[in-house]
Structure 1
Amino acid sequence: MYKVLLVDDEPLVREYLRLHIASNHPDWEVAGEAMDGQEAWDMLQDVRVHLVITDIKMPVVDGLELCRRLSQSENPPIILILSGFDEFSLARDALRFGVQNYLLKPVVHDELAEALAKVTAQLDRKFHEELAALAMGKVSKESQTQVVRQFLKSLVSDDSVEIKALYPLVFRLKVQLIETEGLIMVLDLDEDRLAQKGIPYGDISVFRFILNQMTGELSEASGSGFVFLDEDQHTCVLVTGEDKNDIEHKCRSLYGKVSSAMLANTGITVSGALGTFESELFHLQYSHAKATETLNHRLFMEEPSLFNGWNEDVQLQRLAILEQTLSSLQFAIPDRNEAAFLMAVKRFFESLPHISSVHVMKFGLYLLRQLANGPLERQGGFLESAYHHLQQMHRNPSELSIQAVLGLFQEIFHRLTKGGKEEPVHENEQDIVSRVRTYIYSHYAEPLSLALLAEKMGISPGYLSSIFHKTMQESYIKFLTRVRMEQAAKLLKANPPVKVYDVSEKVGYVSVKHFSHVFKQFHHMPPGEYQEKHLSAAEWPAL
């Protein structure tokens, strides 16, 4: 039950309001009546109400002074002003005290009903938000960390179901994942070193767990970022900072600490790779994809390192060779084309300056990983067997030659060979995109993910992403950002001025710092400066 205080020096007006509320709004209770602002102020010292309906011109203390006092109180009620046509300038003055609602006298039944309905909806939203915030406040720090880790994993793997389930939780927890910019750093064991040490294939997962735990502890100690595992069990770190140099410094510092700790405690080395810098949360999957791709550069190197894909000339050539090789191998296996399979292997090793046992081990393990969910999935203990053969190759470096290498992969091929439709279109693409745009305009203040939008439209996220970009010539996230920035600009022009952190929340941002960073990129000035520049253009908001 919501409570309202009626303040007017005309008894007939108070009686009309009281009778209307009692007969038409069962969710409301008239908690009291006052003839002027002073009497109302005295009553409010003892009575807590959700809404004050007050006249402007009254004896002793008028409505404007009452609004001023309430605006300075803790957790003030919503204020609805009653004003005559000749009092409109006074009503405008109430803007300074946060009043946003007014009705003209004489009060019309339908207008009063609509006003109370809107205030009820506003209070309902506030109640639900406070209830959710209370529930989120009881979630333990460990549980929050698990939610964030699982969300980041689903984000970089584009798991639409998990994203849809977890993003609202992350939003409610107000976890600031990105403030200005960030990137994904991917770390992984150098498995060739594990093989060299005679570690069984089945124990590799144990060392991956150790790597993840060490990275998490060191990252938490230095405040370097959020650590999680991706679908391939790589240790990933979301690293954010003030600028690109700061982020790269954090990455290299953390990589150095993790590498040293792993080498000292397990004798195993670690390689890593940096993804692209991103300022939008839902672009982190691109950063992760780039880091994962760049990590493959280690196949061409003998020593561990932290790679980046920013100086790409040499790396692109090498990664292109690797991609061509893997593609040829994947086509050769179902076709049972041994010659094509071995030719692809030979072409890769001939691209190296020299062939070492490290190169053979790294490429062999890479190939096994890539095929593990495909042809090798049904081969039982074949992975362990192939891993053992790779270990034998390393233990007999004198036998290392291109013929010996081809012999090894020929055996792999023999064991291997023993042994998606396009989204249907039920609706015009432009109509779907139009519905998505309408939904974004109506819900831009909420946590919107591609997975959620796709579910609303009844299509897959991949198909929605494709047709949205084709129709709008921009991604959904860029469109959403533009809508949010345009709405933010409108709010910042409002009078009375709305606090920047309130604007940030109203347009769907958890972090004020991230909002300010994106706003400056879009409008070429910070939100505070923009607000100051446009403050004179404020208009009275109609109820």
Structure 2
Amino acid sequence: MTARQEKYKVLLVDDEPIILRSLKVAIPWDELGLEIAGEARNGEVALRLIEEKAPQIIISDIRMPVIDGIALMKEVLPRSSKLIFIFISGYGEFEYARDALRLGAFDYLLKPIDHDELTEMLTRAKVKLDKQKENEQLMLSVQMLSTLARERMFAEFTLGNSRPLQHLKWLENSELEGEYFMAVVRLDDYAALAARWSAEEKHLWLFAIRNILEEWSMDNGALSVFPFYNGEWVLLFPGRLGEGKRELGEKLVADIKRYSKLACSVGISRSTQGIDQLSTVYPLAAKALFQRFYSGQAGVFIEEETPDTGGRDVKYPKELEVSLIESIRTLNMERMLVLFDEMAIFIEAQALSKELAERIIIEMVVVLYRQFENLNMQPDWSLEGLLGKLHGLGTLTAMINVLKQEFREWMLESNKVMAREDGRSVVEKAKRYIEDNYHKDLSIEELSEVAGLSISHFCTLFKQISGYTFLEFVTNCRMEKAKYILQNSNVKVYQVAPLVGYQDPRYFTQVFKKATGKTPTEYREEYTKQA
């Protein structure tokens, strides 16, 4: 039987034996290409069976003793994000079931169970699993990179770092060599949301949004999706979808609202070609997204649809922006305040109307705020609050004075934060977390949360202090653990892979051989001879 013909495994979880029996006999499992791998009467037993049987689909009662269905899903989804959960719910648990969908469930059905409805759900679930398998096979055969490495690679190019090209020759045949465009998705009022959420809630919400985006991308023809800043994701689309940009963006906003109840806005860039252009189109998509602050309403903002400037060719002070970013990056307050005065002089020299002057100032403020955010130095700051203050002012002098006052206070607070933050201890904390969780599906997003830094700031700091990229350190840690297991146990090679964080034994073997020069079997045999 080939891998394509293998049946997907289903775990049944319910504390009512009669429901378990009816599910086993009423569903045409064999016709659907599915098989029942096990059954559990509560979530605690289900957790053990998930580890032992590695099912792809879980059908679970939403209310159970010991560990209920949602608690079970919260426990396993962060480390097995492709698991499909279908919940069985009573009529009185409708809101509870909707919460399950928000947190990543595939679907739910109400009691009494309609077996035809469940069969239809399972058919859709199998289609999704088939798509996932095709994508995984494509990644293995063409790209030979984990999802984590791929995301980080795209993020590096978006930040303007082209160094990965030196090592990834396969990118010459990348889908990004054809025409594509970028969409930047950002949760509205993210700072306020993050302040309201606990650390665990924040992790679950971001995981839920990412889950929604990944499934949405698969269904709507996106080339890739990856997190960039906290509360922000980047999607890449093939150029052939360019004529329907607005419809695509509106569907994305509507679906995120539908499944998560959270509002977001989308900025979309012009089309381009070549992976090295990621760092060029990101500012274009982000700049389009700035229109959200001009309009005061969430929505879709397309870079080509620039606002009316009354026929004037208004020059944006890009050099001034670069200098201000540098002053913030180096926490040089004196230089920053001088540059704000130069901004006023620039606007006066062009004799801009109040509306155009306000547009330039707001665009600059958003860019600078993102710089503070990138350094993770904006714990209690409200971008929306500052923009509201600026909008209500009547003169350029008043606007510049408010900017200087607000950014001065932010800079002072940032200096305090930086003084308290010991970069080496932060990296050591992250390394310990990796060493304790190397067997899980670790992501840069997760480690950034642990470190309390933005993704890009964490990556830079980790590389500077440890000498390794995040991916290099995780891989090295996994290889050391794998060597220890091979040396000190009789665990079969294919069983070693999931113990050190790799779900695909073939991919584990490739990584191990690249790291040691030997396959796991060769390594064990050589060590046994020496011993």
Q: Which has the larger radius of gyration?
A: 1
Larger relative contact order (C-alpha < 8 A, sep ≥ 6)? 1
Q: Same fold (TM over 0.5)?
A: no
TM-score by length of 2: 0.38
When the two structures are superposed, what TM-score results if normalisation uses the length of structure 1?
0.37
